Amino acid sequence: MSDHPADNATINRLCDDLIIRWSEAGQEKSARWQSEKSLQPPQQVKVIDDRMPADNAYRLACEGTALLWRSDFQNAKQLLQAMARRIDKKRSTSKHLPAELSVADTFHRYRLMQSQRAQILDKLLIPFEADHTIALPRAPDIRHACLEAYGPRNEPYVASLREQLGLIGAHEWGKKVINIPVLVITIHPHYGVFSPVRNEYIQLIAQTALPKILTMQSIAFDIGTGTGVLAVILAQRGVQRIVATDHDPRALDCARDNLLRLGFIEKLELLQTDLFPQGQAALIVCNPPWIPARPASPMEHAIFDPENRMLRGFLQGLRDHLLPGGEGWLILSDIAEHLGLRSRAELLHMIDTAGLKIISKSDVKPHHPRVSDTSDPLHTARTRELTSLWQLATK
């Protein structure tokens, strides 16, 4: 379900070209720069330790100075939390989201605030050894998580503490499973692959009547497979051959592991490509990113689709890849409509100009925790959201 996230090889190539430099104890030092978000190495770096007050650290980070931590790891976490509290306190005492803003402006302002918050907190840095050991007292052993995310390194590097905490959380989450009750299975998400926590749409795929042509030509494409969960549904429903595509090697590895574990790997061909494989299919399913906005990091490519690129690509290519009598199943939330980012008329126009017609549409109401979170600036939009399966065919 991703568009163009960076893969391990790309990230490592980028990092090999990026160096962070600083002065310490009267000497000029340097190390490789590591950033999963493809951030450039900071130009101003100050070495700090436990003696740095949180107010000073916060001020320096706001001014653009990166802070390379040289003390206890657990104290670095506490400093990061203290900096975050100062950001949130400043927000709570200022009027960042005026009532007169449109819903779309509210969304963009909210995203800007989140981005600015991340920019400040990402300024707190920690050093790593070449084997991914954190070079600080009382640091956890996250070598396996770093190896999974970054691959092997051959020299020390420096990275954002906040990014590493996110990596640890994602790694631990990947050890767990996502229960898919309607399929009576579990899915294991890998690091960097969008996790189907919100899986209300899966029942739509599981319950919608399959196109009749599948009984004669049992082939389906799963575009942007992610964890492979939609491919699993198709395999469970008896489709004999499934081609699952994704641009991200991490996603393909994740889908392969899940399908192998669940016993469906023999029905599946995995292909690294942007959108469609060659040929035609009786059924083509796609769950593109739902929000037409710019992602702030590679991890967000499964959520944000700039200028509807993947959505448009799927719709425009669907007609050429459907067998006569075949169907395209588009899974799409209408959250973008409620945020004022894409109108229903725009979506219908995209479908029409792609030479497609709508056979049917099925809806399901989301039930994730944010629906009831009244403190969320986007709460009103979330309460109105529906996730839909659009059954499409050529005109």
Closest CA to 271 of 234, 232, 242, 245: 245
Average pLDDT on 40-64 reads 95
Question: Does the structure show a pLDDT above 50 at 147?
Answer: yes
Closest CA to 173 of 145, 147, 209: 145
Highest averaged pLDDT of the listed ranges 157-166, 169-178, 190-199, 319-328: 319-328
pTM of this prediction?
A: 0.78
Closest CA to 350 of 296, 300, 310: 310
Q: What is the 3-state secondary structure (H, E, C) of 119-169?
A: HHHCCEEEEECCCCCECCCCCCCCHHHHHHHHCCCCCCEEEEHHHHHHHHH
Question: Does the structure show a pLDDT above 90 at 376?
Answer: no
Average pLDDT on 62-72 reads 96
Tell me the percentage of the chain whose pLDDT exceeds 70: 87
pLDDT score recorded for residue 329: 98
pLDDT score recorded for residue 99: 57
Residue of higher predicted confidence among 126 and 250: 126
Average pLDDT on 336-346 reads 92
Between CA 44 and CA 22 the distance in angstroms is 8
Predicted confidence band of residue 379 (pLDDT cuts 50, 70, 90) = low
pLDDT score recorded for residue 61: 96
pLDDT score recorded for residue 295: 78
Determine the Cα angle at 357 with ends 353 and 359, to 5°.
160
Burial class of 239 by CB neighbour count within 10 A (0 to 12, 13 to 18, 19+): buried
Paired with 268 in beta bridges are 242
* CATH number at 177-394: 3.40.50.150
pLDDT in tens, 230-260: 999 999 999 999 999 999 888 999 999 999 9
Q: What is the mean pLDDT of the chain?
A: 86
Q: Which of 11-25, 127-141, 194-208 has the lowest mean pLDDT?
A: 11-25
Average pLDDT on 113-121 reads 90
pLDDT in tens, 311-328: 999 999 999 999 999 999
Domains of the chain: which residue ranges? 8-173, 177-394
Question: Does the structure show a pLDDT above 50 at 282?
Answer: yes
Question: Does the structure show a pLDDT above 70 at 3?
Answer: no
